[in-house]
């Protein structure tokens, strides 16, 4: 019994430790989960399924329809005895011509399917971009929390040092009060960075559609590798690969078919039909013989709407307005893409220049830290001076990471603007 309890306690401690450690997620993990579980992706998938069903529904009009009906009646009080009767009717109906509406409806549903699939690709691009930005934002916020913790500790050490000097009469009260105020400020900044980290954590969890109580540990580095940029190539790639272009092209074509469907309302409809009837009779009814009477009717029907109060004309005008709207939206969307490519291209170039600047500054503080370490070993400077040099180096290192973060953000936006990797 004691051994069983010991095993249970060990398992519980292992589970609690693994939960406390959290879920390690790389950028690839984040993208896989986001593209699989994000609500926008799931909604897009359902829209595609619905559009596929619409195509099948439209194609069903090419096939004949078969309807069956049956009735039973019992005539009472009219004759010397009750007269029960049974009747059935089976109707087979096949449209031969419907003003082109069947074929145009099929084509329209296919274009709507293309539009839904392209819209799903748009959602994948946007969700991927949001997930990548949220991941690096959380990673940078984690670094900032660590840096501000170091700043708080360093400021506390300076305050302790000033207090010692104040107690020995070597520092003024104003010096101590100034440092106490600085400590309060850096503590406030530290608390704000914790709030920023929590907000970034919630944002990423919402994008991944996972429980907010789950502990996430972003795993990654702010490493940078320069790349060649060519605006002309990026523009051509965007015009070829952006799913929005496919989406709106499909919408325009679908609206063209809607116009044809509306015009088809004024054309004749022709269908062939075959009806099979069965009816039970009795000697009291007015039928040639007693028993079941079977017969069938074959027919060809032409229907032509001569006047419908100009309803068809109004439908055509509505369809033409929708078509014009779709063309305007397509033109506006292309202009937005051109502007997005240009803006993201310039932002990416600026971020690459900013990285070079931060690297130059980091080299200076790295050299200063090396000098401070040599002087500390020689007894020229104090450990507090060495800590100050380390802090300045850490701040410079964070500034470089932040510039790399800005580069990642610009690079992700540029890749999205050009249609993805």
Q: Give the percent of the chain with pLDDT over 90.
A: 74
pLDDT level of residue 421 (50, 70, 90 thresholds): low
pLDDT at 79 over 90: no
Torsion of CA 283, 285, 290, 295, to 10 degrees: 180
User: How many whole angstroms separate alpha carbon 314 and alpha carbon 112?
Assistant: 23
pLDDT score at 281: 64
* pLDDT tens per residue, range 359-398: 999 999 999 999 999 988 888 888 888 888 999 999 999 9
Assess if residue 290 is contained within a domain.
Answer: yes
Phi, psi of 80 (to 5 degrees): -65, -20
Tell me 48's DSSP state: H
Assess if residue 117 is contained within a domain.
Answer: no
pLDDT score at 227: 76
Q: Which range among 20-29, 202-211, 289-298 shows the weakest confidence by mean pLDDT?
A: 289-298
Please give the average per-residue pLDDT across 241-249, as a whole number: 96
Is 222 in contact with 405 (CB distance < 8 Å)?
yes
Q: 219, 220, 216: which is closest to 22 by C-alpha?
A: 216
Is 127 in contact with 256 (CB distance < 8 Å)?
no
Assess if residue 381 is contained within a domain.
Answer: no
pLDDT score at 282: 58
pLDDT score at 19: 40
pLDDT score at 173: 83
Alpha-helical (H) ranges within 26-100 are 27-37, 39-59
Q: Which range among 76-90, 111-125, 141-155, 301-315 shows the weakest confidence by mean pLDDT?
A: 76-90
- Which H or E run contains 105? helix 101-167
Q: How many CA atoms lie within 13 A of 318 on its CB side?
A: 9
Assess if residue 278 is contained within a domain.
Answer: yes
Under DSSP, is residue 215 helix (H, G, I), strand (E, B) or coil? coil
User: How many whole angstroms separate alpha carbon 166 and alpha carbon 159?
Assistant: 10
Q: How many domains does the chain have?
A: 1
CB-count burial class (<10 Å; 0-12, 13-18, 19+) for 225: exposed
Assess if residue 89 is contained within a domain.
Answer: yes
pLDDT at 1 over 80: no
pLDDT at 8 over 70: no
User: How many whole angstroms separate alpha carbon 31 and alpha carbon 298?
Assistant: 62
- CA–CA distances in Å: residue 140 to residues 43, 150, 326, 353: 31, 15, 42, 20
Find the length of the chain: 421
pLDDT score at 377: 86
User: How many whole angstroms separate alpha carbon 340 and alpha carbon 246?
Assistant: 17
300-333 burial code (b ≥16 CB/10 A, e <16): eeeeeeeeeeeebeebbeebbebbeebeeebeee
- Which H or E run contains 87? strand 83-97
pLDDT score at 420: 81
pLDDT at 414 over 60: yes
pLDDT level of residue 167 (50, 70, 90 thresholds): confident
Residue 274: beta bridge partners?
92, 298
**What is the extent of the structural domain holding 93?**
70-99+269-303
pLDDT at 9 over 80: no
Q: Give the percent of the chain with pLDDT over 70.
A: 92
Assess if residue 52 is contained within a domain.
Answer: no
Assess if residue 284 is contained within a domain.
Answer: yes
Is 68 in contact with 89 (CB distance < 8 Å)?
yes
The overall average pLDDT reported for the chain is: 89
pLDDT at 239 over 90: yes
Assess if residue 333 is contained within a domain.
Answer: no
């Amino acid at each position: 019994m004691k051994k069983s309890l010991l095993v249970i306690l060990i398992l519980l401690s292992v589970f609690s430790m693994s939960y406390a450690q959290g879920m390690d997620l790389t950028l690839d993990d984040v993208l896989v989960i986001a593209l699989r579980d994000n609500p926008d992706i799931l909604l897009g998938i359902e829209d595609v399924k619905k559009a596929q069903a619409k195509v099948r529904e439209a194609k069903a009009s090419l096939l004949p329809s078969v309807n069956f009906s049956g009735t039973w009646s019992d005539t009472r009080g009219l004759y010397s005895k009750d007269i029960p009767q049974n009747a059935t009717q089976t109707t087979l109906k096949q449209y031969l011509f419907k003003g082109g509406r069947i074929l145009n409806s099929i084509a329209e549903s296919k274009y709507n399917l293309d539009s839904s699939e392209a819209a799903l690709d748009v959602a994948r691009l946007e969700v991927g971009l949001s997930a990548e930005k949220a991941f690096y934002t959380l990673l940078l916020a984690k670094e900032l929390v660590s840096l501000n913790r170091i700043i708080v500790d360093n400021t506390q050490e300076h305050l302790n040092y000033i207090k010692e000097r104040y107690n020995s009469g070597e520092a003024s009260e104003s010096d101590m009060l100034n440092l106490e105020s600085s400590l309060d400020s850096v503590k406030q900044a530290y608390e704000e960075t914790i709030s920023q980290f929590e907000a970034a954590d919630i944002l990423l969890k919402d994008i991944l559609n996972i429980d907010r109580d789950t502990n996430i540990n972003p795993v990654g580095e702010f490493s940078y590798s320069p790349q060649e940029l060519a605006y002309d190539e990026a523009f051509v790639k965007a015009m070829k690969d952006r799913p929005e272009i496919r989406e709106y092209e499909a919408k325009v074509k679908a609206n063209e078919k809607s116009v044809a469907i509306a015009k088809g309302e004024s054309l004749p409809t022709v269908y062939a039909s075959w009806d099979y009837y069965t009816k039970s009779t009795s000697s009291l009814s007015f039928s040639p013989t007693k028993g079941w009477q079977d017969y069938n009717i074959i027919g060809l029907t032409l229907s032509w709407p001569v006047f419908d109060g100009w309803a068809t004309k109004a439908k055509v005008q509505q369809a033409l307005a929708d078509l014009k709207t779709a063309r305007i939206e397509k033109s506006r969307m292309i202009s937005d893409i051109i502007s997005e490519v240009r803006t993201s291209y310039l932002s990416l170039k600026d971020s690459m220049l900013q990285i070079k600047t931060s690297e130059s500054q980091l080299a200076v503080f790295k050299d200063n830290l090396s000098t401070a370490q040599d002087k500390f070993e020689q007894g020229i400077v104090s450990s507090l001076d060495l800590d100050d040099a380390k802090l300045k180096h850490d701040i410079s290192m964070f500034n470089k990471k932040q510039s790399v973060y800005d580069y990642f953000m610009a690079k992700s936006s540029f890749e999205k603007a050009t249609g993805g990797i």
